[in-house]
Structure formats: structure tokens, C-alpha cells
Structure 1
Amino acid sequence: MTDEELAEIVRHLRKLGADDVEVEAKRAATKLPKSVRETVSAFANTRGGVLVLGLDEAAGFAAVGVEDAAKLSADLGALCGEDLEPPIRPVIRVHRFEGADLVVAEVPALEPERRPCFAKGAGMTQGSYLRVGDGDRKLSSYEVQLMLSSRGQPRYDEEPVPTAGIESLDTKAVDEFAARLRDRRPHAFAGLATEEVLRRAKVLAGDRVTLGGLLALGAYPQEHFPQLLVTFVHYPTPDGADVASGERFLDNVPFEGAIPVMVGDALAALRRNMSRRATVRGAGRVDTWEYPEAALREAIVNALAHRDYSPAARGTQVQVEMYPDRLLVRNPGGLFGPVTEDDLGEEGLSSTRNATLLRLLEDVVIPGTGRTVCENRGSGIRTMITALRQASLSPPRFADKVSFFQVTFPNHALFGPDIVDWIRRLGERGLTDSQCLGLAMAKNGDVLDNKAYRSASGLDSRRATAELGDLVGRGLLAQLGGSRWTRYELTPEAASAASAPSRADRRADVLAALADGDRNRTEIAAVTGLSDKALARWLRILRKEGLVELIGTAVRSPNVRYRRTGKALLDEDRR
């Protein structure tokens, strides 16, 4: 970590007024606080993080420093290597910051197959922690079990159900499944009797039905596992029940049966509870559902296919909750394997907890639709994001909490008539469709950073950075923070949709700054008050118009100088 990166971290903490999910500050004047073990364990079990010793949170993150930085660094290294299992090897450095010595440790995240990291003295169950918000929380025994199961490929879906024989399967679904396999995968299944097809596909283990087979093809799986179902609740207010009227919910339905049946029934209930809205598309208006069905289907299928089916989780349902302002789908068991929240939707990344179940669902049809439950190509999240993008809705929000995973769909169209009118009043020419999308997200109060912008627009990171930088240069967005905390929000002028000339056109200011001779960008910025990105944009425009030129050719050098051209002087004389 560089001194500049540390300064950015401290600025972030001071602005936030609290620790961050990825940063923990401790006073630690003379010795390591006891809570350091918990913090290092929590960072290692989550996404990694930065531990800063010598900052006093109670004093607004003042740099009070540590007395003996060398000793404290050695003690921290020994604690991470000797007191924790598995050992953690953070990068530890001493920084001189605001006249004080700070010890900074960059704690790496452990690979899933090595978690959980725990304090040896407390043991795995009592000494494993997780980073939540700005604090460290002890892992529950269930969460420890989930982490242990992620060290390999769980096989719960292949376990035989002692109370379920072949008579527990839906005969029609079995016949269609076997016929499909014989047709699509003849090398493995052609010529086999139905029971042999089921055994080879791991629907049967001996004379018992496997858990995956029961969930995919069972007549009534809840006879054996009463809580392996989907519950749907439609609440009347954003907070749930309407306390004033006493109305607890608008709809409350459990969905039972095999997974294909539950998916079909859940989608039917959602359609019954959704309304339609008018969405602006180009020059016209289109009536659409509140949420696109493709996104809902993928969310429900993912929840059922990727949930935890270990014995400890079989008492927990998949939950679908609808509120006036959002819809969420929650399942037991967080993300499995190497996939993280940041990776979701990235091409080529896929990992599944229930490999056999997912393979079965690839060849099982949702009743009445003619389509299989899933494709098993790792494309579900991308399909979900794309469906929302095409419907001009905000991208989904994902939350991976180890014990559960949740996807939330905000209920507002990004391009309603008011947003379209606001973008038109900005008076900006040359905005791309994705930039209009980003502006709409910011106007609607969504979090806007590079990842959210990429998710909503489908752009790669390089293009997203360039487009966001252009919006900053136009004076429409303000960049807040830096490095990993960079996010964007509307400038006050853009939020109020002031007219373009009074807000955006700074040609005259830049030319005036060059009236007395050539200057570099730092000098021009000091005169005009423009941000670096805004200044770069106006210099680029003025160069294109032939009004400003470079002295030399190193356009990317911070010391390159600019001057007005003869054309600019001639235009000024004419005025």
C-alpha cells in the first residue's frame, strides 16, 4: 500500500465516520488489542481487508500513532502466523502519516477451500468470525458447516432418501425425462430401460430415490421434506404489514411439489400480483410488467437449484417477498465456490453447490411451458441483468451473507416520462444510451459506481470508466472517493437540470485563462476552478475546434502547455 492509498483510506473513514466493511482502525498505542484476532479472522473469511493500527476512531480517526511500530508489526505478524488456523500472511508496513507512525496490514481473503480461519485458542466453532458492516461477527455453527462443505463438492443431492422409492416419482415427468435423455444423449442413454436411465442419471440410488431426483421429478417431495418449498408474501407497505389498518399482507401462498411445479406456480402468483406500467422506449411508450418474467424466473430457479440442501438447512424455505418498492428472493446458503458478489454476471464464471440436481433440471420441463427449468450454462445471472436492462429497470442488488443469498429487484423504471424530460433539459449532446442509463440511476438514487454501471449497461470496465469520466467532465456527475471507494453522484446543477449554457459551456473561461500566455493544466485549473476531468474535456473540445493548441506533443504529460491559436485571437477581435 502506498502513502497516497493510505491517505485515501483515512479520508474515506473520516467522511464515513465509522469503520468500513473492508477497513478496520484501532488505537493500539502500546500493544495489540484483543479484538485483532477477530478482525483478521473476519477479513480472511470474507473479502479481505485493511487493518490500521494507530488511528483513534473515537477522536474522528485522528492519527495518534503507535509507540513502537517495529515491535507492534512483529507482534501482529506472529499473531497471524501462530494464533490463527490456517495461518494468515498479511502485508504489514509502517507508514508515517500526519506526524505519527501507523501500522497497516493488508489481510488477504482465504480461498473458499481453506475457510474458515479461526483463533486456535477458541476453536473453529467459537473462534471463526465474519466481517459484517463495520464490525466482526462470530460465525454460527451452521455457517462454519457451510464453509467446510465449500472445501469440496457437496453430495447431498445424490444421497438416497430412505422413505422414497420409485413410486414417489411423477410417472409422466419420469417418462418425459427418460425420453428426452435417450433423444439428446443417445451415447449414454439410448436402449436403456427407464429404471436404468434413472440410475445412470442419479435419480435412483439402488431402489431409493435420491434427494436431487425427488426434487426434480417427485410427485410430492414435501411428504418427505415438509419445508423444502417456496413461500410467497405480498406486503402492503415498504416496511411489511400495514400497522394502521391491521392488514398484514395482500397475498400469502406456499408453493409445493417438485422444483418445476414450484417455479411455474411462483411465476403465476407473481403475475397475479404485478401491475403493468408505461415505459418510454425511444419515441414511444410500451406497457410492461413491473418486473420482467425472465428475470423473476432466473431468480427463483437459481434460488431452488443453488440453495443449501444439507440436513441443517432442510427446515428453511426459499422465500419470495413483494413490497411496493422492491421484490426479493432469498435462499438458504450463500454463494458456493470461487464466485463472489463482484463476479456475479461475469462471463465464464460459474460454480454450483448441487451439481447433480442442476444437471437433472437441465432436462426437466416446467409444466405448461415446453421449456426446461434451466440451461446449466452459468448464464442465469446474466439473463437476469439483461432482462432488467431491456426493461429499463434498475439492476438487481445481490447480497451474499454465508448463511443465505438474496437478490433484490428495485421497483422503479429508470426511464419514466419525468426522467426522459429531465435528461432532455440537461441539454447535453452526444450522450450514449449507457450514459443516459447511468444518469437515470443517479437521479433515482441508485448507488452508481463502476460495477453498478457495468452491470446496468453491459459495458466492460475500461469503457465504463471512460464514459463515467466523460460525465464527470461534462459537469453532470461528481466523483466521490477514490480507488476501491470511487462512486458517483449528480452535481447540484445537473440534479436541478439547469440549462446547459449556464452550467456546462466553459470554453470562454479556458480561453480567458490563456489570454496572458501559455499555461499547463494545473495552472489553467487553478484559474478556472475546473476539475481535472472537466478541464481535459474542454481542452479537447477547444483543440478540436482549432482554438487551442499544444506546445509540444506529449499530450499526456502533466507539464504539457497550452496556448490560444491565431483563430481564437481572430474570433476575439471580431467580437
Structure 2
Amino acid sequence: MATNNAEIDDKKYIDQLLANGERVTLECKRARKDVPHSLWETYSAFANTDGGTILLGVDEDLKEKDISKRFNIIGVEDAAKIRTDIWNTLNSREKVSSNLLRDEDINTLSYDGKDVVVIHVPRATYEERPVYINNNLMRGTYRRRHEGDYHCPEPIIRMMLRDACDDGNDRMFLEHYTLDDIDIPTLEAYRNMFRVANLEHVWNGLDHKEFLKQLGGYTVDRASGKEGLTMAGLLMFGKGLPVRERFDNLRMDYIDKSNLVGDQRYSDRLTYDGTWENNLFNFLRLVLPRLTRDLPRPFKMNGIVREDDTPQKKAVREAFTNMIIHADMMIGSGLLRVEKYDDRFVLTNPGLLKLPLEQIYAGGESKARNQRMQHMLRMIGYGENLGSGFPLILNAWHERHWLKPQLIEQPELMQVKLELKIVNAETSIRSQMGQINEQINEQINEQIKLSERQRTILALISDNPSITLPQLANELSMSESTIRRELDLLQKDSVISRQGSRKSGRWIVVKN
């Protein structure tokens, strides 16, 4: 019997999914006759991480090391029944807390005459997370790591619950914290900047308490009638001791490791030492000038005044602002760290990403955790509107032909890291290519002949093992299909290998 084109396409699609084995975004289950109980753990894990695909009717031999032989397509006996059972469970809400699937997310595909049920689970939005099962928030919430589903740690569940509140984290009323806990010199310094940026603003005539109320730093609890500082007010303008008392989990640290001489560990450091009131506004004011003073300053005049505020300085200011407004200050071991090196800046904040990485790079939407702090900083010219902040950073770095900024989520550390490399992309590629050429000559079989394009791809992978296919295509101005073909050839020749998922995995340049 002839095989139709649809069956050929189905088989090709399944083969492509299985080509790299189970990973962060792929799970296979036998499910010969019924929906396996473990499917719902994977559903929760995919929804709370990066989304993924579940294949029912595929058996995996974990002992088989050859990925091409590891999977056996056994098919399901009654695909229609399994799909109906899945929909019934989703819609009953007795098993899962939220149904994220649409009709097109569950399909039956044919593989050599056998039916495989394919389920696409999207990443849940921050409003929908956490997605849990068995009506048990703490024990029924899962996240995906590598090839497995794991109980979500309680700190991450608490973070997801906070993120689901559209009003942000920093509106929290801090009982017993009053205007006496505000460092007045810090507040006055902010008000001077506010006045310069907003000369005719009516708030300039208010006293400190009313001014803070308007900014969202001071509030009256309507239920009890009590009044005092909000989380935003204390963290932005508070005295160091009250800040440390209330948020003893939070640390602010700046370390300069540029221009080191001899065995120097660092050339400059700012951490709490009793010489400054360690609130967020002071941290920003003290660190930003140190961070940007070595950036290139092309000679440019605005009338008779030299214009020093370059796109790159604005980008660093934006990155610093983002670090503050997106940080989860209530995580147990919160660290706001800024590091300066000869060739890069690294900014780290506690918390995980509220939005998918690709959406952040594209811009157009902003979901700050600390909306009152965001408002405070915008009022003095810090922070872009409407989600344009990260594209501003990308454009400023692209203008100088520096390597593309990398935003890295580190779930195991409960933090997000932004790397801003001050390195010319072409220079870096040439340097990496030189190193790769040496490695290739020494470590890769002489029979493998690599093209110039493949060597360039290897250089980019060596410089950034987490680089994605779309990023490679963008860097080299080539189509994704061309890059995918080259990557497949490199993997086939064992020049490179892939560890982890397509989105959050990493490339490995084979050494032996």
C-alpha cells in the first residue's frame, strides 16, 4: 500500500523531534492503552519552565547509548480515546490547576502505520503560574531540568505566586517603618534630580512624606488606618540599618576587576562598610559613574556643551535600571551584583525571568516586579517605556559592533545574569577562529575538511556555548535552515555535540 505525503511528513517530523533524544523540551511515554499518570507531572513541568512536546506511543531504552537506536515507535491502540481522556481531565480541573491547551495542541500523527499522540504544552504566562496537579500547590508543582520532571522548590513557587500579582512586589506595606527610617540626604539627592528633570512639576512643592506618597514609597493601609513606608520607599531611600533589618537576605555588591596589576583581586569594590547608607538609590548613584567612565566618548557638541551621554552609556544605565526593577528582593539569598572587567560588564539580580527570553529580546512588553521603583527611576530619566529597554541595549551594542548582550537565566541559583561584552564581534570571531583552527588541527581527524562557514560557526559556539540557532543566523546574516544544515553536518562528523534543550541547552566543541 502506498504511503501518502501526510504520513511521510508525520514520520519526518517525529524523527526530527527524536534526533537529539529526550531533553528539557521533549518527553516520550509508552502510553500503549491509557494516559499515563506521569503525563501530568510533565505537563506541569513544561508549563512552569519553557514549554515542550510530549510523545505518547514512543518507548525509550535508557540503556541504549546510540540515540538513533534508543527510541521504538510502538504507537497507541486507541488514539481517539486517549485524546478524549486528556481533554476530559484538563477540563475537569480536578487533576490540573489550569488548562493551557488549545485544540491544535493535541494531534495524532502516523508513523509506519502506528498512531503517535503529540501534545504541545506551552509555557504558562506569569499570570497562570504555578501550574500544579492533584490540588496540591506545594507537592504538585513541577519544573523541568534536563530530561526529568522535578518537584518545584518552595522558593520558586513563592516567587511564581508573587509574580502572578499584576500590581508588583514593591507595593507591600511595611508596618512599623516610618519616615524616621528614610535617609534624608538620599531622598534630597533624588528630589534634586527630580526637580531638574521636572522643573514645573507640582510635586516639587510637597513635603517629604507627601512626595513619597505620590511616588508610591509611603502609604496608608485603608483596612487598619496604619501608615508607613512601602517596600519601594525603604529599599530606595532607607537608612542602611533599617534596610538590613527588614531585608537581611539582600546584598548589594560592586566589584571592579579591570586594569588589575600583579596579584590584585580587584581594583575597586563597593559593598556595605559603614561609609554609605546602603539603599538602592545610593547603590545606583555610586556605581554607575564607575561602571561607565571607561566607555568610549566620541567628541560631540550640543551647542557649546560637549555631549557625553552616548548610546552605550544609556544602555548601561538601562541595564542597571532593569537589574533593580526586575529583581525579586524577597528571595532568601538575594544578590544585586555588578562586576566590571576589561572586556565586559556583568549584572546579576535575584529572581527568574517573568517573560520568555525571546519576548524580552524582541521588546514591546515590560512586566517589572518592582513597579513603584520603576516609576521612581523613570521620573528622573532612568528606564525606557513600553518594553523598549532591552532593544535599546541591543541597538547600542550593535552600533559599536560589540558582541551581542547575553541574558542568562540560572534557575539553580535563582538569579538572572546579563553579560555586556565590550569586544568587537569580528575581532572576537577572528580570535576564536584562530583558537578553533589550532584545536581542529590537533584534535579533529584530518579527514574532516571544514568550510570557512563551519569554522566561523565553531568560533561563535566556542565564544558562547549557549548561543541559539536564531542567534547564529542573526550573527552570520544567514537563514536558519542554512545554519541548521551546517550544525547537522558538524554533529554528524562529531565535531560538536548538543547538551540539553534547543532553548536552554549548550554546545560542546568535541575535544577528542
Query: Could you tell me the TM-score, scaled by structure 2's length?
Result: 0.68
Deviations along 1:56-85, whole A, 9 cap, x unmatched? 232422322223333333333334334211
**Cα RMSD over matched residues?**
4.3
The partner residue of 1:231 within 253, 260, 273 is: 253
Deviations along 1:530-556, whole A, 9 cap, x unmatched? xxxxxxxxxxxxxxxxxxxxxxxxxxx
Number of the residue aligned with 1:70:
80
Deviations along 1:467-493, whole A, 9 cap, x unmatched? 524x98xxxx54339xxxxx799999x
Q: Is the 8 A contact 1:217 1:258 kept in 2?
A: yes
Number of the residue aligned with 2:484:
479
Q: CA deviation at 1:359?
A: 0.7
SS of the residue aligned with 1:393? coil
Number of the residue aligned with 2:415:
404
How far apart in 1 are the matches of 2:27 and 2:114?
18
Number of the residue aligned with 1:41:
44
How far apart in 1 are the matches of 2:22 and 2:313?
39
How far apart in 2 are the matches of 1:361 and 1:252?
26
C-alpha distance 60-108 of structure 1, shift in aligned 2 (>3 A):
same
Deviations along 1:109-160, whole A, 9 cap, x unmatched? 3333222221125x01111112333322221222222222233224542334
Deviations along 1:419-444, whole A, 9 cap, x unmatched? 39989xxxxxxxxxxxx999966643
SS of the residue aligned with 2:144? strand
What residue identity is the alignment partner of 1:309?
A: M
Q: Is the 8 A contact 1:442 1:489 kept in 2?
A: no
How far apart in 2 are the matches of 1:377 and 1:126?
37
Deviations along 1:440-474, whole A, 9 cap, x unmatched? 666432535335655x69xxxxxxxxx524x98xx
Q: Is the 8 A contact 1:325 1:410 kept in 2?
A: yes
Q: CA deviation at 1:25?
A: 1.5
Number of the residue aligned with 2:281:
260
The partner residue of 1:379 within 376, 383, 388 is: 388
SS of the residue aligned with 1:480? helix
Q: Is the 8 A contact 2:109 2:116 kept in 1?
A: yes
Q: CA deviation at 1:106?
A: 2.2
Correspondences of 1:137-536 after superposition (within 5 Å): 137-162=150-175, 164-178=177-191, 181=194, 184=198, 186=200, 188-189=202-203, 191-205=205-219, 208-220=228-240, 221-222=243-244, 224-232=246-254, 250=266, 253=269, 255-256=271-272, 257-267=278-288, 295-310=315-330, 313=331, 315-320=333-338, 328-336=346-354, 339-364=355-380, 372-376=381-385, 378-400=387-409, 403-409=414-420, 413-416=424-427, 419=430, 443-445=459-461, 446=464, 447=467, 449-451=469-471, 453-454=473-474, 467-469=477-479, 478-480=483-485
What residue identity is the alignment partner of 1:299?
A: A
Which has the higher mean CA deviation after the structures are superposed, 340-349 or 441-450? 441-450
How far apart in 2 are the matches of 1:268 and 1:400?
27
Residue ranges of structure 2 left out of the alignment (5+ in a row): 1-5, 62-68, 221-226, 273-277, 297-311, 435-451, 496-512
Q: CA deviation at 1:385?
A: 1.5
C-alpha distance 417-99 of structure 1, shift in aligned 2 (>3 A):
closer
How far apart in 1 are the matches of 2:345 and 2:12?
36
Q: CA deviation at 1:198?
A: 2.3
SS of the residue aligned with 1:468? coil
Q: Is the 8 A contact 1:93 1:104 kept in 2?
A: yes
How far apart in 2 are the matches of 1:304 and 1:233?
17
The partner residue of 1:53 within 49, 56, 60 is: 56
Relative contact order, higher structure (CA 8 A, sep 6+): 2
Percent of counterpart pairs with the same letter? Answer: 23
Q: Is the 8 A contact 1:232 1:319 kept in 2?
A: yes
Q: CA deviation at 1:341?
A: 0.8
C-alpha distance 396-132 of structure 1, shift in aligned 2 (>3 A):
farther
How far apart in 1 are the matches of 2:97 and 2:363?
34
Number of the residue aligned with 1:113:
127
What residue identity is the alignment partner of 2:281?
A: P
SS of the residue aligned with 2:53? strand
Query: Could you tell me the TM-score, scaled by structure 1's length?
Result: 0.62
Number of the residue aligned with 1:22:
25
C-alpha distance 95-265 of structure 1, shift in aligned 2 (>3 A):
same
Q: CA deviation at 1:52?
A: 0.6
C-alpha distance 4-174 of structure 1, shift in aligned 2 (>3 A):
farther
Q: How many residues align?
A: 423
